[in-house]
Chains A and B, each alone.
Chain A
């Protein structure tokens, strides 16, 4: 890639920083230049997020239909899976799987709910109701 070909497209990265790219200058020597992003990869990130949003919506519907506990919604919302949740909460994987059932979830003590709430970075109230503050 030539230095002048480094793309300077819009991307979510701009909220944080510009990134270092390597490219060759007119005499063929490698140099670095900052880039604001590349449309090709911005789109790749977009479609990954569209897929996540769809999974979150479908999980929410399952909870509302009483087919799963709010845990399922938060697992998708926080891009986790059962092993990651087990890691953050200290529960065994089979316990987490069990708590995915609405009835088992309803019987959880305040203390156990607190462990889930902390893993998902929400309050216990938010955990139960799925009404979350999106800024967190």
Chain B
């Protein structure tokens, strides 16, 4: 059994699942950047008291699941999302969806995801894939970060749907409930809502560890890492920062480039040239993040070792925080029509 479905590769898994599932219900206008922007995907958070894979907990994007939910909601498309305590029930509901001709989004863990190369298999449980068919014991899988579709046996799929640890997916599946027509006006409004919400999250989130103040905060902390952690562990921390920022799924530059692309596409719906100018600022922010990654690499490769190198990196992140602050302030001043 195979559902009518077209696989399209994207940078980020949840954006890709969102755009591909929306296409399945007749919404063809939503591109990856639009899904990311309407879902207010851009974020920054550094949680100093939490460790992930023995390193710092850092994210450049919003909480998993929100991009899909927000984008669908903004476009007036009802969402079905289910978690399961029973593996049998989880498979049964999935099979029923496929039988009724519906491709389904699944949250999975990547550690036992057999088609991933070993080097990429960490206990990361917020990966998203689409299941679009079943042939004998194999499920047909569209993983949006991959160029082509692939297969998982029913045991392999069950294992990743019931991965354990932080953000355990608990068999979670989701899909848009029904076919809907989405109008130009709805997309216009969704873009506006998405930008306003992203301004709120980046500029006004309380506390100092998230949003643009979170970038400043980690900049200050990094200057202390050399003394506090020692060169070796500070290098490991910076390597983790770079991976969160640049690894597969980010589109490069900690999602800042995807956001720049979003603002350009938003311009087609809201012909306000400020959007194009602000897009350039996000490109600049992405470039700065990449420069910071190069400086970090100097440290974890052992080429840069002095406190001055750490200070330079920390100050540079504080500068990035200022650039992004200005960009979001400009966005908050946009006059919408």
Within 8 A of A (CB), among B242-270: 242-243, 246-249, 251-253, 257-258, 260-261, 264-265
- The reply to whether A84 and B123 contact each other, CB–CB distance below 8 Å, is yes
- The reply to whether B300 and A1 contact each other, CB–CB distance below 8 Å, is no
- The reply to whether A47 and B11 contact each other, CB–CB distance below 8 Å, is no
Chain B CB within 8 A of A45 CB? yes
- The reply to whether B147 and A22 contact each other, CB–CB distance below 8 Å, is no
- The reply to whether A47 and B257 contact each other, CB–CB distance below 8 Å, is no
* A30 proximity list for chain B (CB < 8 A): 33, 257, 260-261, 264-265, 279
Shortest Cβ distance from residue B191 to the other chain A in the assembled complex, whole angstroms: 15
Chain B CB within 8 A of A94 CB? no
Give the contact stretch, choosing among A35-43, A63-71, A95-103, A109-117. Answer: A35-43
Chain B CB within 8 A of A128 CB? no
Chain A residue with Cβ nearest B244: A44
Q: How far is B55's CA from A105's CA once the two chains are assembled, in angstroms? A: 29
Inter-chain contact total with CB atoms closer than 8 Å: 124
- The reply to whether B239 and A47 contact each other, CB–CB distance below 8 Å, is yes
- The reply to whether A12 and B243 contact each other, CB–CB distance below 8 Å, is no
Chain A CB within 8 A of B195 CB? no
- The reply to whether B112 and A121 contact each other, CB–CB distance below 8 Å, is yes
Given the interface pairs A40-B294, A79-B111, the reply to whether A84 lies near B165 with Cβ below 8 Å is yes
Q: Which of B146, B165, B249, B297 contacts A43 (CB 8 A)?
A: B297
Q: Which of A24, A40, A78 contacts B246 (CB 8 A)?
A: A40
Question: Could you mark each residue 16-34 of chain A with 1 if its beta carbon is under 8 Å from any beta carbon of chain B, else 0?
Answer: 1111111110001110101
Shortest Cβ distance from residue B242 to the other chain A in the assembled complex, whole angstroms: 4
* A1 proximity list for chain B (CB < 8 A): 252-253, 257, 283, 286-287, 290
Chain A CB within 8 A of B185 CB? no
* A47 proximity list for chain B (CB < 8 A): 235-236, 239, 300
Chain B CB within 8 A of A80 CB? yes
Chain B CB within 8 A of A51 CB? yes
Q: How far is B207's CA from A10's CA once the two chains are assembled, in angstroms? A: 40
Q: How far is B257's CA from A6's CA once the two chains are assembled, in angstroms? A: 12
* B120 proximity list for chain A (CB < 8 A): 12-13, 16, 45
Shortest Cβ distance from residue A8 to the other chain B in the assembled complex, whole angstroms: 13
Chain A CB within 8 A of B336 CB? no
- The reply to whether B123 and A79 contact each other, CB–CB distance below 8 Å, is yes
Shortest Cβ distance from residue B262 to the other chain A in the assembled complex, whole angstroms: 9
Q: How far is B248's CA from A41's CA once the two chains are assembled, in angstroms? A: 10
Q: How far is B55's CA from A44's CA once the two chains are assembled, in angstroms? A: 12
Q: How far is B240's CA from A20's CA once the two chains are assembled, in angstroms? A: 21
Question: Could you mark each residue 76-98 of chain A with 1 if its beta carbon is under 8 Å from any beta carbon of chain B, else 0?
Answer: 00111001100110000000000
Chain B CB within 8 A of A107 CB? no
Interface centre among A30, A34, A83, A87 (most CB of B within 10 A): A30
Chain A CB within 8 A of B301 CB? yes
Chain B residue with Cβ nearest A42: B119
- The reply to whether B11 and A32 contact each other, CB–CB distance below 8 Å, is yes
Chain B residue with Cβ nearest A32: B11
- The reply to whether B145 and A19 contact each other, CB–CB distance below 8 Å, is yes
Chain B residue with Cβ nearest A119: B164
Chain A CB within 8 A of B10 CB? yes
- The reply to whether A41 and B168 contact each other, CB–CB distance below 8 Å, is no
- The reply to whether A16 and B115 contact each other, CB–CB distance below 8 Å, is yes
Within 8 A of A (CB), among B120-165: 120-123, 145-148, 164-165
Chain A CB within 8 A of B293 CB? yes
Q: How far is B222's CA from A122's CA once the two chains are assembled, in angstroms? A: 40
Other than the given A22-B257, A47-B300, A48-B55, 10 more pairs (CB < 8 A) read: A1-B252, A19-B249, A20-B145, A30-B33, A30-B261, A45-B247, A48-B243, A80-B123, A87-B164, A88-B164
**Hey, which bits of chain B sit against chain A, CB under 8 A?**
9-11, 33, 53-55, 111-112, 115-117, 119-123, 145-148, 164-165, 168, 235-236, 238-240, 242-243, 246-249, 251-253, 257-258, 260-261, 264-265, 279-280, 283, 286-287, 290, 293-294, 296-297, 300-301
**8 nearest A-B residue pairs (beta carbon):** A87-B164, A30-B261, A22-B257, A12-B119, A44-B239, A20-B11, A84-B165, A15-B117
Identify 22 residue pairs between A and B in the complex whose beta-carbon atoms are under 8 Å apart, listed by A's number: A1-B283, A1-B290, A15-B117, A16-B117, A16-B120, A18-B147, A19-B11, A20-B251, A28-B280, A38-B246, A40-B296, A43-B239, A44-B238, A44-B296, A45-B239, A47-B235, A48-B236, A48-B243, A51-B54, A51-B236, A84-B164, A87-B165
